[in-house]
Structure 1
């Protein structure tokens, strides 16, 4: 059986991402879904950041069934809605988000917190993660950060002025409580500018 691969390069020089979604045929055999194209849909947030919302789910456990035979499965329908009208925040309440983020050379994201536990994996380049305590760590290709609803920011420190790419899996969490205070989602922009999830 032939496989499908893409070597298409984006304007930033990084390889494009294909997202393959599996399904079942009427015999219960695994197939690749034709409901949503495998091609990516990158959104330029600014000249410094590009986002690709690769998948979302709602509810636990996730409903992978169709409402009736022949219908598009519930989770695929929900994702298609999120593609057409992005969620209001970076994370989804009672859901998950799979997102790719490309960082322009020397770019630095704003300090922010999501109401989720996030698995962030560096796919290309090198990034510095900064916490609001002042602590920092360097992440290279293959490194992962388990982000537990803490305030943090990213800075692209890739050598020779290259773009960097991360893949994030965000899983909704209960609000973190520290010293009796609930710490919810916080998306302030650079220099105090307010940014909403719709912008992201």
Structure 2
């Protein structure tokens, strides 16, 4: 039996040993069991809630950096938080605060996340965030390179940036010399594409929800 739970599906089947078991095909690891179909569905919903809350907390540091670096707009942050609030029976307070905050400055949203989710990304993850924003056409190359350059510089002094891969550092050192050239030389742009692709291949990309927001928001 299949039961729609908002934008998710609950599949409930009889277990060989008796009772019922349930799973959600859209969420890996979400399953439940019980003596009745209702109990199996209830335990599945609990599992879905725990996994979705964990997912939101895992995505929050990425959204914090996206807001801080300016590769996420207030509108996209609100849409992300709205989706989480609608999916969760008891959403964390910071998600409610984000969804109700109305500001034109994405840094205000970053401060809300940081106050409740203090974890931050390492240098390689920040680079992945920026190059993915470029790949998803959220920012263009003229915007991506200055952001990466700021990440490369040891600012602020008390928290020096470390872990910038050599191939990225070499690219940024070259850009610092030719940044005033318009347009940027084609061979340099081509190297940017190669370096970005190599970094994504080596270090992965941020969670898809950061740049691929759900087209519909519905309660689970």
Q: Shared topology, TM-score over 0.5?
A: no
More helix by share: 2
TM score, norm. by length of structure 1? 0.25
Q: Where is the strand percentage greater, Structure 1 or Structure 2?
A: 1
Name the TM-score, length of structure 2 as normaliser.
Answer: 0.23
